[in-house]
Each structure stands twice: as structure tokens, then as C-alpha cells.
Amino acid sequence: MEVKNKIAVVTGASSGIGYALSAELVKAGAKVYCLSLDKPAVPVDGVVYLEVDLTQEKAVADAVLQIMEPVDILVNNAGVMRRGHYYEIGADDFDLVWNVAVKGYWLMFKYLRDKLVNGAMTVQINSKNALVKKADTFVYTLSKLADLEIDALVAQDRPDLDMRVAHLARVDTALEWTGYTEAQKAEKIVTALSPERAGELVSELIRSDFTRLVPLGESVEYRME
């Protein structure tokens, strides 16, 4: 899709991948709305920041009312990480991950349903974990699998939508390093993309004719399919 003069909505764009992607979209000529809990320390010129708790239905509904234009691109990026097997995760951590990554994902579709133009593009920032089903990130992996099913169910109602998925592997963000020691981080960071590079890759996916971005093994290389 040519993004110049398009209206894009990106969740979780106050930091990390979402922040970098919103900057890429603005650079390409889009107007971007960011729905996040907080505003970034250094706002991106051209981004309209709406502070909203994506797990709260009324908050999402009220935020969407502030988006006056029809929406061409929806990027569902917001998420949190909690590590652990199914027998290690506590209920509070389960609820946190699920509410942000699944409930929030559903709420964005629900309240933007009538604002998404015919043929609008939706981009799901998913994870390699959904491809390999990593058991030691039980609830995070489960949430990413659920998001794929949300897309499939939404498509039954809106078959016109151009749905795309970015299965990102390791990216150097606060989310990625949640639950790791400094030693573990030092070992793994060599195979981590920068948030800026991740934003570039997702921007390339949006502007391409492909529908998926997938990692090549444990490297920092990706392919589009």
C-alpha cells in the first residue's frame, strides 16, 4: 500500500517497535494516531498521541471517537511479556498479558469496525513464538496464537480487509528483556534487531504485496511471504 496521505492507527507506539514504526509511517507521508498508556519522552512530529488503557472498553471507545477521519491502516502492536511455563505463571500475570494482547486487540477491531475503509490494511505485530509455540513463554505465546484466530474471525465479517502479520523474533526492547538476567540479555542481544530496524521491516511489509514477515532461524534476517 502507498501510505502517503493515509490515516494510520498504531497501538503501543510510545516506545519500541510501535514508536519506530510510527516514525517510519510519518516519514512516508501518513498521518498517525498512537493509542498507548503514555506519551513518549520525545514525541514524533506528525503523530497524534491518545493516552488510553487498551484493556478498558470505555477508554478505547472514547479514544476512537477522537479519530475523526476514516482509517486506512490499523497496526495492533501493543503487548506485554511475562515468562514462565503454564505451571509457573500466576493468575495476575496471565490476566495482564491476555488483557493487553487479546482483549485490547479485540477492542480495537470492535470500535474501529465502522471507521476502517473498504480494503483497509490491518497489521498484527505477532511473534516467532506463535510459529514455534514456545512453552516457557506460555501466556505470551498463547496470546499470539489467539490474535491469529481473531484475525481469522474478523475476516469473516470484513473479508475486504488486507490482513498482514509480522512474526518478529528478538527485538531490543523492554518487552524482550522482561524476565531475563543481565547475563542472559548479554548473551541474546547479539541476535536482536534494533527497534528502528524492526520498524523499517514492518513498514516494508505494509508497502509490499506480501502478507507475512517471518524470521529466518535465529538470525536477524527475515523474509516476506
Euclidean distance between CA atoms 137 and 139, whole angstroms: 6
Q: Considering the domain boundaries, does residue 122 fall inside one?
A: yes
Q: Considering the domain boundaries, does residue 26 fall inside one?
A: yes
Q: Considering the domain boundaries, does residue 1 fall inside one?
A: no
Helix ranges (DSSP H) in the chain? 16-27, 57-65, 91-98, 104-112, 129-132, 138-157, 174-177, 182-188, 195-206
Instruction: Write down the pLDDT at residue 190.
Output: 86
Q: Considering the domain boundaries, does residue 2 fall inside one?
A: no
Instruction: Write down the pLDDT at residue 217.
Output: 80
Among the listed residues 142, 145, 68, 156, the one whose alpha carbon sits nearest the alpha carbon of residue 109: 156
Q: Considering the domain boundaries, does residue 197 fall inside one?
A: yes
pLDDT tens, residue order, the chain (225 aa): 999 999 999 999 999 999 999 999 999 999 999 999 999 999 999 999 999 999 999 999 999 999 999 999 999 999 999 999 999 999 999 999 999 999 999 999 999 999 999 999 999 999 999 999 989 999 999 999 999 999 999 999 999 999 999 999 999 898 888 998 999 999 889 888 899 999 999 999 999 999 999 999 877 899 999
Euclidean distance between CA atoms 140 and 98, whole angstroms: 8
Q: Considering the domain boundaries, does residue 184 fall inside one?
A: yes
- Residue 216: phi and psi, rounded to 5, are -100, 95
- Domain residues for the domain of 146 are 7-224
- Give the helix/strand (H/E) hosting 212: strand 212-215
CB atoms within 10 A of CB 160: 11
Domain total of the chain: 1
Angle, alpha carbons 46-5-22 (nearest 5°)? 40
Instruction: Check residue 12 and give left, alpha or beta (phi > 0: left; psi -120 to 50: alpha).
Output: left
- Residue 64: phi and psi, rounded to 5, are -65, -30
- Residue 10's DSSP bridge partners are 34, 75
CB atoms within 10 A of CB 110: 14
Model confidence, pTM: 0.94
Q: Compute the radius of gyration of the chain from its Cα atoms.
A: 16
CATH number at residue 104: 3.40.50.720
